[in-house]
Structure 1
Amino acid sequence: MFSTLDVDIRPGSGLGVFELGASLWTIIDTLRQMQHMFPQVDIKYDPDVSSTTPIILHLRPHLDLLFSGKHQRLRSICVRKLRDTNPPVTLRYKDIVLSSAEEVLKRVGVSRTFGPTYPGNDLRYPGVWFSFEEDGIGDGRKGTAQQEDRMQEVKRVLVSQKEIDTEQGDALGEVVECPIMNGDIKLAVVKVHDGVTLHFHPSTSSPVHIRIGTTTAQDLVVTLGAPLRVHYKEDDRMTIHSSHQGYDEFDTGYFYNYFQHGIDFYISGKTHIVKKIILQSNMPGSPLFQMYKRCNWEIEGSPEDDEDDTPPRKGFSDRFETISHFLSPREPPPSMLLDRTDDEDNITLPSATTRLHGYDGIILEVSEASQVVSVTLF
């Protein structure tokens, strides 16, 4: 016996527990806690453009969640197979049952509930539209041949932001800033040998500058709140490659893990000052995918002159070769191979290995597809 999937439609805002504008990391974390309701989740993306690919979460059999390619934000929600009873689905709008195992949603029912709209094969309203086709996108403006069929059955319902024109705009574009983003990092501007400047949602928020060798653990808690995890065990295998004569083997330090921001901070165990900053790209298919939210980072170079207030930058969506030349015009430095699944016996990935490329003050972790999956500042 299947339990009913009972969800409310909120035009321009969301459906059920899913809010438009929420991050991919947040949604998947929510789904992990609801395995009884969504036991199988398929993740679909284009591996050839893993840095900016739109991502679809298919929650069988009824829901498709589409996430934008750059910021990995929930852009639209599609409810399909309304008559499939495994499990049955009930759609509500305010106090009205639109569709259920007993109630078939038809064109006349939509019109009675939502009122008149422009003529067309689909019924479109701000933030929600109803399609009479099982797959594909109907033309919402042209044609009126089916307009007289008041008993035509709705096959799909799509919820999107009211600010986005689903016909004229880019169906795979980015999400308009909305309240659910407040407090999240919008952009992280990286400066080698200095640190990172964090810009937050909403856009009117003041940026925060976190500096290596200056910012303390207490500063981080005041600025970002308590980390989701404090990790005291450092993987010190890389210290054998250190060129610093003054390396203190007794200063083991600890990590502040901000998975919800896609950032880790390594902090001195003696001074409690930030020593390293690690920014995560959350690339689909990589070993760390969905452990961290995507951090939209950009590495800033030196301005061309004193009057240049727009210094050049390279971001996570740029290929490794481009970023490497930006950091050092010479040949890329020798790389070291890293397999993050070495300690995991039950994980098999098609591209489990990455390479570490070290530069002065910065390390890039690069996938086999030449995408930078993480940046470490030291």
Structure 2
Amino acid sequence: MTARAAPVQISPGKGLGNITLGASLHNVLTRVKSHPQTFPSIDLAYSSCDPLRKPVVLNLPSNGLRLRFDGPDQRLRLIEVLDFSKADLVYKNQDVLKSGKSSEPTTSPQGPSFRHVYNRLFGPSFPGEYVPPADQSPYGTYVLSYPGVAFSFPLQHSAWSEHCDFVALLSSSAALSATSMAIFQGSSWPETRVKLFTQQPQYPRSLAVVSKTRDSFADEIEEFHIFGSGKLEVTRRTSAPLQINLGETTPQDLIAEFGPPDAIYRKNDRRISIHRAAGGDALHLSPSPGRGMDIPDTDHSSNNSVTDDSDEEILPSSIGDPALLPSECFFNYFHHGFDAFISHPTTPGPAFPTSELPDPSPQPSASSQLTVTKIILHGNVPGSYPFNRHRRSRWAIHLDQSGNGLTSESPYDEISSQLRSVWKGSYANASEERAMQRPMVLNRGWGDSPESSVEFLGGWEETTSKGPRAGGDSHDGGLGNTELFGFPGLLFEVLKNGAVSCLTVY
């Protein structure tokens, strides 16, 4: 049994203690794992077939809590208390679980009685919702809703009637103490239930944004929009959209808009360079000689352990002085969900043939100015090796001016089909098209740490996986390989279930 912690304040419509509705899965899981004495047991449940569209559930059994996140954005939507005996809950300095003797009959002494909730804690309310038993149980469930919070009371099905006074009924011996409590964003549970995972969260992904002023903390990123030709637009929670032009945007521009990076790494490992275009036509992923595409480095530091010998951490004092930065390094923004590769200017990938943008102009090779030449967007897919290293980053690829495009939740088969159609006219023949779409297998399972090795096995290798991972602590004995697929200016890292784990834009 864990030591009893300080009382946890209930904030209807907002959160429970320091767990806030709207918080990102990355933010909540990172804070929970940093307090193992308070949260000794963590269980993460998700759909292994569709992890980006189905909800993700974080169970904290030792604390009697269950947290539900939506799949696409990984934001906290519902906080449930399933065992009132495992946490000291208070509401406006009033204990939720009434101490002392109780004359009310109950088979669930852990929960508060209806009288305690109705008379002492939250006061009068509109009639709630009765849910009949699904099996032969003699008890149904009466859900009593208040704005932002609801309680579930077992109620004898034989005693239920639509014409009964619900206060008298729930105060009688036919009702038991509450078995659970839910905290949500909305005026009532029946109204919120239908839009629980789709409505816009009121609160930000991180408590830091709430506790600090706008001037002292960078605004949250909502989504990256990719237009081709090295052009990206970043939409943010409150600030105006930001334009990133690869080969032009500087490290100082990033720092001004997103704050200092969480880490900076010099990249020394060049093992993937053997696959570059020179002398390697079979692995050259360009659809035409005029629209060349070298394979970018995929073993960026964000997907490697901080103890990886191929990476060297740069001191934070280097950030303010460009002269102290190495010629090639990664800016890691874990809480924003992306990395930026900093180097001398290079020519970005071409424009999409279906767009109205021109191809980018060649960058001067002799320029001494460091710029952003690649953006790496992390999916934070449950079950992947780099899970919870970054916050989930959402993106959309705009192939034309219609506004319709591919998104970070699109299965890769759908992404591949549309991109192959867009670039089809650039292939010399069907054989060249097949060769260029041959995947490379990226292994993240060999070495001293899960992300410390990059080995390319060839497009024919089968990946292995033995089950889901919870919070990055896997006992999976498989290789955990992912496949790399390339198009001009884009490189996709894809899991076995078709989810895009990482997108590199260059």
Q: Under a length normalisation based on structure 1, what TM-score does the superposition of the two structures give?
A: 0.86
Aligned pair partner of 2:340 in 257, 260, 265: 265
CA distance in 1, matches of 2:261, 2:154: 46
Deviations 1:193-228 (A, max 9, x none): 3132110113xx200011110001111000100111
**Which amino acid letter does the alignment assign opposite residue 39 of structure 2?**
F
**Which amino acid letter does the alignment assign opposite residue 96 of structure 1?**
Q
Could you say which residue in structure 2 is the equivalent of 1:228?
A: 262
Aligned pair partner of 2:228 in 192, 195, 211: 192
Matched-pair contact (CA < 8 Å) for 2:2–2:38: no
Q: Do the aligned partners of residues 66 and 252 (structure 1) sit closer, same or farther apart at CA in structure 2, a change above 3 Å counting?
A: same
Alignment of 1:118-133 (within 5 A): 118-120=126-128, 121-133=142-154
2:171 matched to 1:150? yes
Could you say which residue in structure 2 is the equivalent of 1:174?
A: 198
Matched-pair contact (CA < 8 Å) for 2:378–2:393: yes
CA distance in 2, matches of 1:328, 1:64: 42
Deviations 1:39-85 (A, max 9, x none): 110001111111212111000140000001211100010001223xx
Could you say which residue in structure 2 is the equivalent of 1:111?
A: 118
**Which amino acid letter does the alignment assign opposite residue 79 of structure 1?**
V
2:90 matched to 1:92? yes
Q: CA deviation at 1:365?
A: 0.7
CA distance in 2, matches of 1:146, 1:351: 57
Q: Do the aligned partners of residues 9 and 230 (structure 1) sit closer, same or farther apart at CA in structure 2, a change above 3 Å counting?
A: same
Matched-pair contact (CA < 8 Å) for 2:98–2:116: no
Matched-pair contact (CA < 8 Å) for 1:89–1:100: no
Paired residue secondary structure (1:47): coil
2:184 matched to 1:160? yes
Q: Do the aligned partners of residues 224 and 268 (structure 1) sit closer, same or farther apart at CA in structure 2, a change above 3 Å counting?
A: same
Could you say which residue in structure 2 is the equivalent of 1:78?
A: 80
Q: Do the aligned partners of residues 227 and 100 (structure 1) sit closer, same or farther apart at CA in structure 2, a change above 3 Å counting?
A: farther
Matched-pair contact (CA < 8 Å) for 1:128–1:157: yes
CA distance in 1, matches of 2:385, 2:503: 15
Question: Greater strand share, 1 or 2?
Answer: 1
Question: Greater helix share, 1 or 2?
Answer: 2
Unmatched segments (≥5 aa) in structure 1: 135-140, 304-309
CA distance in 2, matches of 1:100, 1:78: 19
Could you say which residue in structure 2 is the equivalent of 1:312?
A: 404
CA distance in 1, matches of 2:411, 2:479: 17
Unmatched segments (≥5 aa) in structure 2: 102-110, 129-141, 156-160, 210-218, 280-291, 295-325, 345-367, 425-432, 451-473
CA distance in 2, matches of 1:170, 1:344: 46
Deviations 1:212-254 (A, max 9, x none): 100011110001001111111244222222237999xxx8600
Alignment of 1:229-378 (within 5 A): 229-243=263-277, 253-268=328-343, 271-303=369-401, 310-329=402-421, 330=424, 331=433, 333-344=437-448, 348-349=475-476, 352-378=480-506
Matched-pair contact (CA < 8 Å) for 2:446–2:479: no
Q: Do the aligned partners of residues 154 and 145 (structure 1) sit closer, same or farther apart at CA in structure 2, a change above 3 Å counting?
A: same
Matched-pair contact (CA < 8 Å) for 1:54–1:69: yes
CA distance in 1, matches of 2:233, 2:162: 48
**Which amino acid letter does the alignment assign opposite residue 418 of structure 2?**
F
Deviations 1:343-369 (A, max 9, x none): 345765467110111111111111111
Deviations 1:164-186 (A, max 9, x none): 75446426523423242462211
Paired residue secondary structure (2:201): coil
Q: Give the CA RMSD over aligned residues.
A: 2.8
CA distance in 1, matches of 2:184, 2:162: 21
Greater CA drift, 332-341 or 361-370: 332-341
Could you say which residue in structure 1 is the equivalent of 2:316?
A: none
Deviations 1:124-155 (A, max 9, x none): 10000011249xxxxxx967587424263111
Q: Do the aligned partners of residues 27 and 168 (structure 1) sit closer, same or farther apart at CA in structure 2, a change above 3 Å counting?
A: closer
Q: Do the aligned partners of residues 168 and 100 (structure 1) sit closer, same or farther apart at CA in structure 2, a change above 3 Å counting?
A: closer
**Which amino acid letter does the alignment assign opposite residue 77 of structure 1?**
I
Q: Paired residues, what number?
A: 359
**Which amino acid letter does the alignment assign opposite residue 24 of structure 1?**
L
Paired residue secondary structure (2:88): strand
Greater CA drift, 283-292 or 97-106: 97-106
Matched-pair contact (CA < 8 Å) for 1:75–1:175: no
Q: Which runs of 4+ in 1 moved over 6 A?
A: 244-247
Deviations 1:76-119 (A, max 9, x none): 10001223xxxx42110011111166586110011112111122
Could you say which residue in structure 1 is the equivalent of 2:287?
A: none
CA distance in 2, matches of 1:128, 1:351: 44
Could you say which residue in structure 2 is the equivalent of 1:201?
A: 237
Greater CA drift, 235-244 or 142-151: 142-151
Structure label with greater radius of gyration:
2
Q: CA deviation at 1:163?
A: 5.5
**Which amino acid letter does the alignment assign opposite residue 111 of structure 1?**
Y
Percent sequence identity is 29
**Which amino acid letter does the alignment assign opposite residue 154 of structure 1?**
A
Paired residue secondary structure (2:127): coil
Matched-pair contact (CA < 8 Å) for 1:297–1:316: yes
Matched-pair contact (CA < 8 Å) for 1:337–1:354: yes
Q: Do the aligned partners of residues 345 and 169 (structure 1) sit closer, same or farther apart at CA in structure 2, a change above 3 Å counting?
A: closer
Matched-pair contact (CA < 8 Å) for 1:90–1:101: no
CA distance in 2, matches of 1:328, 1:297: 19
CA distance in 2, matches of 1:327, 1:93: 54
Greater CA drift, 237-246 or 8-17: 237-246
